Amino acid sequence: MSRTPAGTPPNPQGAERFNEERQTYTVRGSDQPDLKKGVEVIRDTVRTLPVRPGVYRMHDARGDVLYVGKARALKNRVSNYTQVERQPSRLQRMISQTRSMTIVTTNSEADALLLEAQLIKRYRPAYNVLLRDDKSFPFILLRSDHDFPRIMKHRGARRAKGKYFGPFASAGSVNTTINALQKLFLLRSCTDSFFSRRDRPCLLYQIKRCSAPCVGRIDPAGYADLVRQAGDFLGGRSSAVQREIEEQMSVAAETLDYERAAMLRDRLRAATFIQSSQAINAEGMDNADIFALAAKGGQVGIQAFFIRGGQNWGHRAFFPSHTDGLSEEDVMQSFLAQFYEEVPPARLILVDRELPEADLLAEAFREGAGGKVEISVPQRGNRRRLIQQAVRNAAEALDRRQAERGSQAKLLGELAEFLELPEVPQRIEIYDNSHIQGAKAVGGMVVSGPEGFIKNQYRKFNIKNAQTNDDFGMMNEVMARRFGRAMREDPDRDKKTRDGVMSWPDLVLIDGGKGQMSAVKDALGELGVEDVPLIAVSKGPDRNAGRETFHFPDGREKTLPPNSQVLFFLQRLRDEAHRFAIGAHRQKRSRAISASPLDEIPGIGPSRKRALLLHFGTAGKVRAAALEDITRAPGISEAVARKIYDFYHPAR
């Protein structure tokens, strides 16, 4: 038995509470899959374990994480796995694949719960419940680092100074709210650089969605008052804000300032619109999150409602994976732990069932919520009605999901039959190139599976070696790079992506005709890859959509009726690859347009580049300047000036 340090896991929220206490063990066993070997590895690990809280990871022979679990007492919890006969078949399979374990001790079980959620999101193990839709939630940010704060949509880490309001269920709900808030409070939404360059009001001022602080149409005190009202409104004090606006409107009317009274009337209408569009019967609740679970046919759906300031800020359905053999209570508990790993918890969390470790979850969420968290199952009153509404929505969302998956499965079956595939494809890769006369050429790969496009598997390839305007050579290069890497990393073709889809495609679609097909065949033939199904899709006469021709590797061609559902599906795949490749090409072209020769000089960052361009006007004038002239530029020392001069005059 060997003991080796394992990789340091990522720090969850509050990780500093147990970093100093962390101890890690890895115990390795035989590479052969065997239940006895798995139990032996676990027993060897148990001998070294303390009776204290922590997190354990089970690895297979390749080191991939099979499962992440937390325990109040590591020794007791892990030793349970050695009693194989008491484990369900799902866990027996996991034990049989276990060839090493990593142990991390923590100061408390709540800390272990936080770390467990972090590691599950990072490694996405095959035997853990996984929150598939883990895209970050959007927030509304009211900046505080400017004399005239900006209101904006925000995703990701909350590093900017200001107040964050959310989460909202979707970007659409955030955009709708911001548009209404602009009408209500006339706050700017432009960037600081755009703001600083204005010498006259922009269109938003003309349509009464901004107070134009950029050109002094409102003083700082008046704008600060609007910011305060916006914060109060988003923070749940909307009634007080409305009363204040009503009083201001009455004063304006009494003083015969009808223009101001009309403006305040429009703001009141905007406030009414926000409340009516976000209204939900949430009497007596300020901030709360509501969750309900539905299960049917081996699938699980969880519906979430977000209430902030007594208003509904949207709802979203989630469909966790890897839920077979687990109780619905365990699924809900694991879901909540992962959900709140990045989203700040509400102080009140309503669920539709009792959770086995509700108190532990509440303790773990306490720091993220900034105070005590209550997790409860309402039994009566308005809260109970909200839960019933969430239960109904969860069931309906799950029904829609299953109907969509059934239609998708039927469509994939018909696709396999038309393209003569050996089995229904689980991973389809679609390729396209984009360039302008060979310039800034980019290859794009998009991936589709049984549940739609898998966007975190998309890849772009900057064309390096193909000749200018050589579409066939570009496609050859893309295929050589994609499948050359696949041969190096997964020659046995048994690895899966984080979404549970095999990393090798069951079908490759190429946007093009016979020439592109020939280029792809040549590239794969050189790599010895001969069993990946290939199909090239070319548009018909006059490039008319609906008259596509499908080219097979053996030279055969097929077409589909213009009203075929399979044809529509293949068009969507082709169009998505086209969209992605064009987008990547445009990004590359935009970067090239905004690039400057000064970017190539070592040690010249954005600030110095800006100073040089402001002083000389153009990069060409910097190149032609004498050493003494460069030294006179603001912020440019003699050493930096010498570096710039020598870069353009190496012979001297």
Element containing residue 139 per DSSP (H, E): strand 139-143
Element containing residue 142 per DSSP (H, E): strand 139-143
Is the preceding peptide bond at 167 cis, omega within 30 degrees of 0? yes
Token pair, residue 249, equals 């409107």
| Least confident interval from 57-71, 326-340, 493-507 | 493-507
User: Mutual orientation of helices 109-123 and 328-339 as an angle, nearest 10°?
Assistant: 80
Q: What percentage of the chain has pLDDT greater than the value 70?
A: 85
C-alpha closest to that of 167 among 133, 143, 141, 137 = 137
Q: How many C-beta atoms lie closer than 10 Å to residue 62's C-beta?
A: 9
Query: Strand pairing partners for 60?
Result: none
Asked if 149 and 162 touch (Cβ cutoff 8 Å), the reply is yes
- 3-state secondary structure (DSSP) of residue 514: helix
pLDDT at 68 exceeding the cut of 90: yes
Q: In this predicted structure, what is the pLDDT of residue 352?
A: 92
Q: In this predicted structure, what is the pLDDT of residue 499?
A: 56
Query: Strand pairing partners for 164?
Result: 141
- What is the average pLDDT across 15-44? 62
Q: What percentage of the chain has pLDDT greater than the value 90?
A: 12
Q: In this predicted structure, what is the pLDDT of residue 446?
A: 92
C-alpha closest to that of 593 among 443, 439, 467, 434 = 439
The single-letter DSSP state of residue 321 is: B
Amino acid letter for position 47? R
Distance, in Å, from the CA atom of 633 to the CA atom of 631, rounded to the nearest integer, reads 6
Query: Strand pairing partners for 163?
Result: 142
Q: In this predicted structure, what is the pLDDT of residue 313?
A: 75
Token pair, residue 257, equals 């300032």
User: Could you report the per-residue pLDDT of 262-285, keeping only the tens digit for each?
Assistant: 777 777 766 665 555 444 555 556
Integer CA distances (angstroms), 345 to 25, 121, 348, 646, in order: 32, 17, 8, 56
- What is the average pLDDT across 188-199? 85
Q: In this predicted structure, what is the pLDDT of residue 22?
A: 42
Which domains are seen in the chain, by residue range?
15-123 (3.40.1440.10), 139-277 (no CATH), 288-296+319-399 (no CATH), 428-493+501-592 (3.30.420.340), 597-648 (1.10.150.20)
Between 4 and 244, the more confident residue is 244
Calculate the average pLDDT of the chain. 81
User: Could you report the per-residue pLDDT of 439-489, keeping only the tens digit for each?
Assistant: 678 888 999 988 788 888 899 888 887 666 678 888 888 899 899 888 888
DSSP 526-542: HHT---S-EEEEE--GG
Integer CA distances (angstroms), 19 to 12, 119, 307, 318, 341, in order: 10, 15, 35, 32, 18
Distance, in Å, from the CA atom of 327 to the CA atom of 293, rounded to the nearest integer, reads 11
- What is the average pLDDT across 220-238? 81
Amino acid letter for position 418? F
R_g of the chain computed on alpha carbons: 30
The single-letter DSSP state of residue 422 is: S
Give the 3-state secondary structure of 441-503: EEEEEEEEECCEECHHHCEEEECCCCCCCCHHHHHHHHHHHHHHHHHHHCCCCCCECCCCCEC
Q: Is the pTM of this model over 0.75?
A: no
Token pair, residue 272, equals 């009414």
Which sign does the torsion angle of CA 226, 232, 235, 239 carry?
negative
Q: In this predicted structure, what is the pLDDT of residue 430?
A: 92
Q: Give the pLDDT band of residue 4 (cuts 50, 70, 90).
A: very low
The single-letter DSSP state of residue 438 is: T
| Least confident interval from 194-203, 266-275, 562-571 | 266-275
Distance, in Å, from the CA atom of 373 to the CA atom of 337, rounded to the nearest integer, reads 13
Q: How many C-beta atoms lie closer than 10 Å to residue 430's C-beta?
A: 29
C-alpha closest to that of 430 among 275, 606, 580 = 580
Q: In this predicted structure, what is the pLDDT of residue 15?
A: 40
Distance, in Å, from the CA atom of 579 to the CA atom of 591, rounded to the nearest integer, reads 18
Token pair, residue 95, equals 């034990």
Q: What count of residues does the chain have?
A: 652
Between 269 and 379, the more confident residue is 379
pLDDT at 133 exceeding the cut of 60: no
Query: Strand pairing partners for 446?
Result: 430
Q: Give the pLDDT band of residue 528 (cuts 50, 70, 90).
A: confident
pLDDT at 3 exceeding the cut of 60: no
